[in-house]
Chain A
Amino acid sequence: DAKTTQPNSMESNEEEPVHLPCNHSTISGTDYIHWYRQLPSQGPEYVIHGLTSNVNNRMASLAIAEDRKSSTLILHRATLRDAAVYYCILRASIIQGAQKLVFGQGTRLTINP
């Protein structure tokens, strides 16, 4: 399974943009890039996913490098509620309709007021 590499921690200020990087140099052509986040004392929650093109949704934007070996999750205006561990995940495989998501170590994001 292809692996992802993320910084252990990042810090930002409230109401500023945050760019969370992820390296996945061994990504295969069919691997989708997923981002999940885990708020304190909660289960992970879906943020965004993409394959080749940049993606936007109400939570964030995903910028994917042209060679797909890296991607960046962008929170346009961070709030204190965005403090969480952010996981960049390559969807490893699909078996009988079920996804095998393998979580990496993630980035712990701290937001300063």
Chain B
Amino acid sequence: DTEVTQTPKHLVMGMTNKKSLKCEQHMGHRAMYWYKQKAKKPPELMFVYSYEKLSINESVPSRFSPECPNSSLLNLHLHALQPEDSALYLCASSHPLYGPGNTIYFGEGSWLTVV
């Protein structure tokens, strides 16, 4: 099973709402990632978790709050977002890596629209 599952696939939220994006993998991966992708642009790294601990935060605004409750799950909590935060949010995972290149597996993404 080489799959990263993201829910919901589509989300529309108001600027005062609180919502969450969820990501799940059962490949035994201990590194999990959130990327943001605007239309016709490359994915941009937001957060990286390694062994359930936050290891990289790419200076993401605090209205995005990641959480890794266990080794299979990754959440992205959203609060007081702006319309410019509308984008495709991609979750990914990989094995811990201290050697040659390894594969990062991406989900299909959650399309977020902020109104």
**Interface residues on chain A, size class:** 20 to 34
A43 located at the interface, meaning its Cβ lies under 8 Å from any Cβ of chain B in the complex: yes
Residue of B44, B92, B102, B108 most packed against chain A (CB within 10 A): B102
**B60-101 residues at the A interface, CB under 8 angstroms:** 90, 92, 94, 96-98, 100-101
B27 located at the interface, meaning its Cβ lies under 8 Å from any Cβ of chain A in the complex: no
Specify the chain A residue showing the minimal Cβ separation from B109. A43
Pairwise interchain contact A49-B101, C-beta atoms closer than 8 A:
yes
Proximity string of chain B (4-18) to chain A, C-beta cutoff 8 Å, 1 when within and 0 when not: 100000000000000
Interchain CA distance A44-B42 in the complex, whole Å: 10
Q: Which residues of A contact B108 (CB under 8 A)?
A: 41-43
Pairwise interchain contact A102-B50, C-beta atoms closer than 8 A:
no
Q: Which residues of A contact B106 (CB under 8 A)?
A: 43-45
Q: A42-B108, A43-B106, A43-B108 are in contact. Are A98 and B55 (CB under 8 A)?
A: yes
Pairwise interchain contact A103-B44, C-beta atoms closer than 8 A:
yes
Stretch in A15-23, A66-74, A75-83, A89-97 touching the partner: A89-97
Pairwise interchain contact B98-A99, C-beta atoms closer than 8 A:
no
Q: What would be 28 A-B contacts, judged by CB atoms less than 8 Å apart? A: A34-B101, A42-B109, A43-B4, A43-B109, A44-B90, A44-B106, A45-B106, A46-B103, A51-B101, A85-B42, A94-B97, A95-B55, A96-B50, A97-B30, A97-B31, A97-B96, A97-B97, A98-B33, A98-B48, A98-B49, A98-B55, A98-B96, A99-B31, A100-B45, A100-B48, A103-B42, A103-B44, A106-B42
Known: A43-B108, A44-B43, A100-B48. 17 other contacts (CB 8 A): A34-B101, A41-B108, A42-B109, A43-B92, A43-B106, A43-B109, A46-B103, A46-B105, A87-B42, A98-B48, A98-B50, A98-B56, A100-B56, A101-B45, A102-B45, A103-B42, A106-B42
A-to-B contact residues, CB < 8 Å? 32, 34, 36, 41-46, 49-51, 85, 87, 91, 94-106
B-to-A contact residues, CB < 8 Å? 4, 30-31, 33, 42-45, 48-51, 53, 55-56, 90, 92, 94, 96-98, 100-109
